[in-house]
Structure 1
Amino acid sequence: MSEKTSKSTSGAPVSVPAKGIQPGKPFHDLAKWATKAPEGEHLISTAFGDKVKEDLKFVHNEPGVHKPDPILVADNVTRRFGGMTAVNVKHFEIERHGITALIGPNGAGKTTFFNLMTGFDAPNTGAWRFDGKDLAHVHPEQVARMGMVRTFQLTKVMSRLTVLDNMLLGAPVQPGEGLFRALVPGLWKKQEKANVEKAEALLERFLLIKKKDDFAGSLSGGQRKLLEMARALMSDPQLVMLDEPMAGVNPALKQSLLDHILSLREEGTTVLFVEHDINMVRHIADWVTVMAEGKIVAEGQPKSVMNDPAVIDAYLGAHANIDLGDDSVMDLKESEEH
């Protein structure tokens, strides 16, 4: 794998691997970028993680705060369904190369916000920019070509295609798709071979290589999640948006999936994910943004956000600090309703 030189926060040169999955390079080598190195070995690089940690160290923990190096910026984004406002985000930024968690109770507007940012839904108001480019009125496939891809809470795999064919759908360069070019194999065979090699390398990485010739419809719910994440990486995106990546995944695979996400950062990829597993959020997130009732109610480092009264109220309600075994709580709640 080729390397490039960066600098750590101390100013010393650090070798970081070139971006992208390299065919023939087993993922167990990449996984050493995660939090724990194998016995007797050292971490390859935490250059991007160190940079993000240093950059966010002096950022105030408050909703809508500005970041030192944002890759996605949204302003005054609203989405209404009839009389209900699902999203009402005044200002939102994601730090480049960081892992940002978007958390909140069910119905907070997180998935709707994802849909708006990626072109799958249109807002009533607002503007947003990805890497300095305006994304208003940009179609989802164009958003993906620009380097921002997403996965879905309910997986979108092609059940009657093989796992490998599902992967090849995510390849950005497909010269054989045209009618006339398809008749001349010399124009597309080399690229097709490269796409297959890359797809197989990703399937190896996500422990799905033995399933490559199976129909995607035969996979378990957790395996479909892994397939969708692997397919999203076929285009070497700058920003990956994961909608509840742990939902339906076998607990035995969760640590592996955590390592996948951490290694994405060390390849130079920015990650934004929606998740309800707070332990996972604490473990891997550099920054946490909390949504409730369509609004951003808190932002900050994971430890500080978990102790924020607004977050506790959003998840548990105003009586989170009261003994729920006390009958007086029910009397108080009934009096408030009347």
Structure 2
Amino acid sequence: MADTTDKTSETTAAGSTATVKEPFYDIAKWATKAPEGEKLISTAYGDKVTEDLRYVKNEPGVHKPDPILVADNVTRRFGGMTAVDVRHFEIERHGITALIGPNGAGKTTFFNLMTGFDTPNTGTWQFDGKDMAHVNPEKVARGGMVRTFQLTKVMSRLTVLDNMMLGAQSHPGEGMFRSLFPGAWKKQEKENREKAEALLDRFLLYKKKDDYAGALSGGQRKLLEMARALMCDPKLVMLDEPMAGVNPALKQSLLDHIISLREDGTTVLFVEHDINMVRHIADWVTVMAEGKIVAEGQPKTVMDDPAVVDAYLGAHANIDLGDDSVLEGLEGGNA
């Protein structure tokens, strides 16, 4: 259960002891394994999602108890090829959902459609009860649904802090006329900066805040993009292959940060090829192949689904093709 007890204390000038509550985001330091003698600050959302999904059937397009994103009949064709053909798709609120599948399955294209970066041939979808079909990306982000990219989109010639500031929704001083009256925007600018610095501290990038973003490593850029996405207080974060190209030393940190997003009340949908990572942190797994959803379920069961094995390895993945009699049998079956 949730442990909301205060973690530290300090002595005031008067000599009395005041209790100081540890920041919630410090869960990112040990989200998957608490230090000896300590407990996780809260697992309330994780516990709720686990309970809600306990009795949901493991089948494609299944309905969820509390969906935050619902998509129907979404298709995207490029010439004669159908890249996405999703009949029904739902994401459970406050859960961590993994979208997996082989290269070319349509996962990133589906991300692009949901966030307004591409236009579908058919389909409708609602986010938190609001129609999001054919909505521009900036309006999608303002509505609470933000995404990161497989190839990070940081501004290399801006500092890390400036990159963070770009993610804030309110910039009242950016207009030419209002910029002449600092009193109208200084307070908001200060709040944006404080929020950006707090997030950089949370993602272990505070010491890099004055460095150019182009000087960061690949893993640090992933952290920066994730931190910047949180500047607008999203309800849903969509991460496109957050572990791609990341140094193994930073992978555990990224895993912990993704879990901490859920425990902070944010829903997470991520695309990933690292099956071990999926097993480790996902509450629910959705499998795409050839643009369609072919399987859904809890990680411990969906990985053994024949449709999943077929999607990744092929229908005859476990057959010894060096055995001539097997090859003859396959040829006979395909005749």
TM-score, with structure 1 as normaliser: 0.90
**Does the 8 Å CA contact 1:33/1:46 hold for their aligned counterparts?**
no
Give the corresponding residue for 1:45. 42
Q: Which amino acid aligns with 2:260?
A: S
1:175 partnered with 2:172? yes
Q: Which whole-Å CA distance do the structure 1 matches of 2:30 and 2:138 have between them?
A: 31
Give the corresponding residue for 2:53. 56
Q: Which amino acid aligns with 1:226?
A: L
Q: Which whole-Å CA distance do the structure 2 matches of 1:134 and 1:84 have between them?
A: 27
Q: Deviations over 1:3-55 (max 9, x none)?
A: xxxxx6xxxx87599xxxxxx97677222672311111111111100000000
1:106 partnered with 2:103? yes
Q: Deviations over 1:259-300 (max 9, x none)?
A: 101111011000000000000000000000000000000000
**Does the 8 Å CA contact 2:282/2:299 hold for their aligned counterparts?**
yes
Q: Which whole-Å CA distance do the structure 2 matches of 1:206 and 1:57 have between them?
A: 32
Q: 1:128 to 1:16 in 2, by over 3 A?
A: farther
**Does the 8 Å CA contact 1:33/1:262 hold for their aligned counterparts?**
no
1:249 partnered with 2:233? no
Q: Which amino acid aligns with 1:102?
A: L
Q: Residue 73 of structure 1: SS of its match in structure 2? A: strand
Q: What stretches of structure 2 of length at least 5 have no aligned partner?
A: 7-20
Q: What stretches of structure 1 of length at least 5 have no aligned partner?
A: 1-7, 18-23
Give the corresponding residue for 2:136. 139
Q: Residue 237 of structure 2: SS of its match in structure 1? A: strand
**Does the 8 Å CA contact 1:16/1:45 hold for their aligned counterparts?**
no
Q: Which whole-Å CA distance do the structure 1 matches of 2:308 and 2:103 have between them?
A: 13
1:213 partnered with 2:213? no
Q: Which amino acid aligns with 1:178?
A: G
TM-score, with structure 2 as normaliser: 0.90
**Does the 8 Å CA contact 1:26/1:201 hold for their aligned counterparts?**
no
Give the corresponding residue for 2:15. none
Superposition RMSD in Å: 2.2
Q: Which whole-Å CA distance do the structure 2 matches of 1:303 and 1:60 have between them?
A: 13
Give the corresponding residue for 2:231. 234
Q: Residue 76 of structure 2: SS of its match in structure 1? A: strand
Q: Which whole-Å CA distance do the structure 2 matches of 1:39 and 1:87 have between them?
A: 47
1:81 partnered with 2:67? no
After TM superposition, the structure 1 = structure 2 runs for residues 174-193 of structure 1, keeping only pairs within 5 Å, are 174-193=171-190
Give the corresponding residue for 2:149. 152
Q: Which whole-Å CA distance do the structure 2 matches of 1:71 and 1:16 have between them?
A: 30
Q: CA deviation at 1:321?
A: 1.8
Give the corresponding residue for 1:274. 271
Q: CA deviation at 1:199?
A: 0.9
Q: 1:196 to 1:74 in 2, by over 3 A?
A: same
Q: Deviations over 1:128-163 (max 9, x none)?
A: 000000001210000000000000011111111111
1:263 partnered with 2:260? yes
Q: How many residues align?
A: 321
Q: CA deviation at 1:167?
A: 0.6
Give the corresponding residue for 1:69. 66
1:94 partnered with 2:94? no
Q: 1:334 to 1:163 in 2, by over 3 A?
A: farther
Q: Which whole-Å CA distance do the structure 1 matches of 2:34 and 2:177 have between them?
A: 51
Q: Which whole-Å CA distance do the structure 1 matches of 2:23 and 2:3 have between them?
A: 22
Q: 1:175 to 1:194 in 2, by over 3 A?
A: same
Identity %: 83
Q: Which whole-Å CA distance do the structure 1 matches of 2:80 and 2:102 have between them?
A: 20
Q: Which amino acid aligns with 2:184?
A: L
Q: Which amino acid aligns with 1:257?
A: L
Give the corresponding residue for 2:281. 284
Give the corresponding residue for 1:4. none
Give the corresponding residue for 2:11. none
After TM superposition, the structure 1 = structure 2 runs for residues 303-318 of structure 1, keeping only pairs within 5 Å, are 303-318=300-315
Q: Which amino acid aligns with 1:268?
A: G
Q: Which amino acid aligns with 2:320?
A: D
Q: CA deviation at 1:215?
A: 1.4
**Does the 8 Å CA contact 1:153/1:245 hold for their aligned counterparts?**
yes
Give the corresponding residue for 2:294. 297
